[in-house]
Amino acid sequence: MGDVCDLGLATGRGRRWNPGVRNGKRVTKTSRAEVEFGEGFWRERAEGAVAEAGTPALVFAEEPLAAQARRLETALAGLPVRSWWSFKTLPLRPAVSAWRGWGHGVEVVSEYELRAVLGMGVPAADILVNGPAKQAWLLEYGVPGLRVNFDSAAEVQALAPTAARRGWRVGLRLNTSTEENFEFPGIRTQFGLLAHEVKPALRVLKREGLVPGVLHFHLRTNVAEARCYREAAMEALGVAAEAGWTPKVLDIGGGFPPEQVATRKGTPLDAGFSLASLREALVGVRGNHRFLEEIWMENGRWLTAPSGVLVVRVMEVKEGRGLRTLICDGGRTLQAMVATWERHTLFALEPRRGKPVRTLVCGPTCMAFDNLGVHELASTVRAGDRLVWRDAGAYQLSWETRFSHGLGAVVWTAASRREVVRAKEMFEGWVSGR
């Protein structure tokens, strides 16, 4: 497993997805989260939501989100950890409002995201601005009191004077040695300063009277093992020490792999990851660097994936060549881009009986890749039935498309409350937006 941090994924050779196996160990009892927010929970929420809003619909629930937040807080209790909402992962006002109600801040990575959260009334002190090339737009938003992590030497040069005038609390993002481009192994990612750029950046900030308090890195999505964070943290803190810098905050980004989700080949994404191992890694880092006052993270997928589902309606059934094919009114191209590389569980709302058969679940577009995978579904599933694709709370809303169709409905639920945040888009809205 020595190359896992370099590759950014676990190979999982010879292993198949098995929901009864967690972190390499067989689970003999259903988890509390699965009991509370399993198929029964989502059947009820989805039924009410699509009865009001129709399909396709992204349906979200506050309770699973709150449960994930509590789990993280409990697992890291006693550590000075601060979690930020990754707005890009789920830019949904009711979800952000719930998160804010629990006392947390919001991380943004673009101009539109910053404008959105300011419009929601989030105070500048509770906004963390990350992302590349911010000098192209952030100068227009001289909001006092922002928290800003600089991503490059050019950003430091361009934004340091404004940061000093506006009282921004600043940090530096470092590009660590394991941050490789997933598509092009051996080529580094485009984010953060290189080690030799840190000392000159500190000099520029010092001239403006700024002392950066945050050392930031973000490895990738679906970090395979907690030790990857520990190794990156030790490297980043070593770079800071060499530059004569003692940051008060270590920001490890996000990237926890979601649970109950697998690769397209069936390998559990979190096969080598656990909150217990993360705690151990962070305790070790802080034990070696007592000057650290806080550890920050901006987890999106792990936190939000269980909080949403995609509900689609079967429009047509095709038979042949040893496979059933369901053509639905929603799918990968329109609402579920992560299905390109992930496998999620799926169930039918209608209680159909019949032998489970191999079934390809497809969306309505003319793209051959528009599918939610091959699933074992009852042979009696028919046109008009509705299917629920789980763990759709991360990125589906951000990556929606309007390819030949309008956007689907978005519904937020909490206990007995239900809100249609966005109605299904009709033709007039679709054509006027082009």
Question: In this structure, are 252 and 297 located in the same domain?
Answer: yes
The model's confidence at residue 34, banded by pLDDT at 50, 70 and 90, is low
**155 and 134 within one domain:** yes
Q: Is 182 found in the same domain as 117?
A: yes
Residue 434 C-alpha from the chain's centroid: 28
Residues 330 and 408 in one domain: yes
Q: With 80 as the cut, is the pLDDT of residue 258 above it?
A: yes
**Sign of CA pseudo-dihedral 207, 213, 219, 222:** negative
Q: Among 414, 416, 428, which Cα is nearest to 98's?
A: 414
Distance CA 273, CA 251 (A): 19
What pLDDT, on a 0 to 100 scale, did the predictor assign at position 152?
A: 98
Domain boundary among 249, 281, 305: 305
- 387 lies in the same domain as 270: no
pLDDT at 6 over 60: no
pLDDT at 20: 39
Residue 325 pairs in a beta bridge with: 318, 360
- Evaluate whether residue 169 is within a structural domain: yes
> What is the model's pLDDT at position 4?
52
Question: Does 296 reside within a domain?
Answer: yes
Q: What pLDDT score was predicted for residue 99?
A: 98
Residue numbers of the domain that contains 202: 63-305
pLDDT in tens, 194-206: 999 999 999 999 9
CATH number, domain of 343, equals 2.40.37.10
Domain boundary among 265, 286, 305: 305
Asked whether residue 2 is assigned to any structural domain, the reply reads no
Whether residue 281 is found in the same domain as residue 347: no
Alpha carbon distance 220, 5 (integer Å): 10
pLDDT band of 142, cuts 50, 70, 90: confident
What does pTM read for this prediction? 0.91
Give how many domains the chain has, as a whole number. Answer: 2
Q: Does residue 31 belong to any structural domain of this protein?
A: no
**In this structure, are 105 and 148 located in the same domain?**
yes
Handedness of CA 381, 63, 251, 125 (dihedral sign): positive
Q: Are residues 121 and 238 in the same domain?
A: yes
The residues near 377 (Cβ < 8 Å, ≥ 6 apart) are 324, 326, 346, 348, 356, 357, 359, 361, 387
For residue range 361-386, list pLDDT tens digits in order: 999 999 999 999 999 999 999 999 99
Tokens of 425: 């888009």
Structure tokens at 428: 């007039």
Residue 6 lies in a domain: no
Predicted pLDDT at 187: 79
Give the angle subtended at the CA of 99 by the CAs of 98 and 100, to the nearest 5°: 90
Same domain assignment for residues 204 and 283: yes
Cα separation of 261 and 281, whole Å? Answer: 24
Q: Do 261 and 130 reside in the same domain of the chain?
A: yes
Dist CA 397 CA 253 (whole Å): 21
pLDDT given at position 181: 79
pLDDT above 80: residue 13: no
Q: Is residue 348 part of a domain?
A: yes
pLDDT higher than 80, residue 114: yes
Whether residue 88 lies inside any domain: the answer is yes
Same-domain check for residues 417 and 295 = no
Q: Indicate which CATH number applies to the domain containing 121.
A: 3.20.20.10
> 322 and 366, same structural domain?
yes
Sequence-ordered list of residues with C-beta below 8 angstroms from that of 210, at least 6 positions apart, any chain:
160, 163, 164, 170
Domain boundary residue, one of 305, 339, 356: 305
Q: How far apart are CA 378 and CA 216, in angstroms?
A: 49
The backbone torsions φ and ψ at residue 396, rounded to the nearest 5 degrees and listed phi first, read -60, -45
Amino acid (1-letter code) at residue 253? G
Q: Is the pLDDT of residue 420 over 90?
A: yes
